[in-house]
Structure 1
């Protein structure tokens, strides 16, 4: 079963400096039918004006993934990490027993766009940690996040995986799914055809349950980019 969440069905908040679309309930946006999906709790599609950002604030017991789609993030946290996250790189901050951080647009003239993703962990407390890595733009399916950090992926405290999907015109990828698990696709760029009859455009999402196979196809002229979650 595939349930599509169209981009224009998401929650929306505009504070001037921040323009954000919420796939699931977040902040002042509340929808009891969209509180998350398995351990996936937040996908916020954020646009941040130059010289602005999120002031220092705290998190605990949450795995927070960021992916920049335009511009650069200036990150600083209470664990001593002072980093810049450029377009295309992935960041995974494990809040553990508690961490404070700030995220600002690193530019004084260019807009920042990024996805903010929250995953509920399967282990509470512990020391916070920070990971950041570029995985390139190779065509196909690239593992990004796994429970054990295998094969150079980022390690997360949950039984889940995050994969990057990039397809050029005419490309098809097939995923052997487990009917006992759930999957979520968030479309970032271009158009993706899922299992021959579901079309996803930029900002769309798809909740997938009880499927044996996921067929991902690009029949458009431009390349397509998405992220795929494999969830318990």
Structure 2
């Protein structure tokens, strides 16, 4: 089964200094039917104005994955950890109860654009607080995150595999799935998504789709495409 959730259906926010699109319930946007999907709690696409900052706050026990699409950000926690990430970077933060994190757009002249995912973290797992990885934008496929850090991917505290797909028009990618559920997200571009049983959906820039009880998914790009496949075991 595939069920699209278009960019237009998502929650919207415009605070001037922050513009956001919320796939699931977040902040002021609440839908009791959209409280996440399996262990994927949050998927936000956000733009921070030049110099804008998110003030220190605590988080539930989650892994926060930031994909920087434009600009440069710095992150600080109350334990003294600090890092910077620029366009083309993937940054994974392993949050802990009682520890605050802040985020700053360090560029005073340009916005910061990023996609952020939250994944529930298993209480028995302890991973490095900060992990960083360059996105392989010149390759059709990259394993971005996995439970064991295989193939030099980021290591998450959950049975989740995140696949980063980059295709040119006309190219296809076939991705086997390990879990019973998955989330498909277009970062940019238009494409056809095809399930193993022949179901087909047309998706555009910023669109997503729930995937349930499928053994694989196939993508065929109609325009230059970047997409994520979040394979969810639980």
* TM-score with structure 2 setting the length: 0.92
Q: Is the 8 A contact 1:66 1:115 kept in 2?
A: yes
Runs of 4+ in 1 over 6 A off after TM superposition: none
Q: Is the 8 A contact 2:164 2:227 kept in 1?
A: yes
> 1:86-97 counterparts in 2 under 5 A?
86-97=86-97
Q: C-alpha displacement at 1:125, in angstroms?
A: 8.1
Q: Distance in 2 between matches of 1:124 and 1:9?
A: 36
Matched, 1:61 2:64: no
1:148 aligned partner: 148
| SS of residue matched to 2:137 | coil
Q: C-alpha displacement at 1:127, in angstroms?
A: 7.5
**2:201 is matched with which residue: 198, 201, 216?**
198
Consecutive unaligned residues in structure 1, runs of 5 or more:
none
2:157 aligned partner: 157
Q: Is the 8 A contact 1:74 1:105 kept in 2?
A: yes
Q: Distance in 1 between matches of 2:94 and 2:48?
A: 23
Q: Distance in 2 between matches of 1:197 and 1:157?
A: 32
**C-alpha distance 12-132 of structure 1, shift in aligned 2 (>3 A):** same
1:209 aligned partner: 212
Q: C-alpha displacement at 1:82, in angstroms?
A: 2.1
After superposition, the C-alpha distances for 1:62-88 in whole angstroms (9 at most, x for unaligned) are: 111111111111211223222221011
Q: Distance in 2 between matches of 1:212 and 1:154?
A: 24
> 1:8-157 counterparts in 2 under 5 A?
8-123=8-123, 129-157=129-157
Instruction: Name the Cα RMSD after superposition.
Output: 1.7
Q: Distance in 2 between matches of 1:135 and 1:112?
A: 17
Q: Distance in 2 between matches of 1:109 and 1:166?
A: 29
Q: C-alpha displacement at 1:128, in angstroms?
A: 6.6
| SS of residue matched to 1:108 | coil
Question: How many residue pairs get matched?
Answer: 229
Consecutive unaligned residues in structure 2, runs of 5 or more:
none
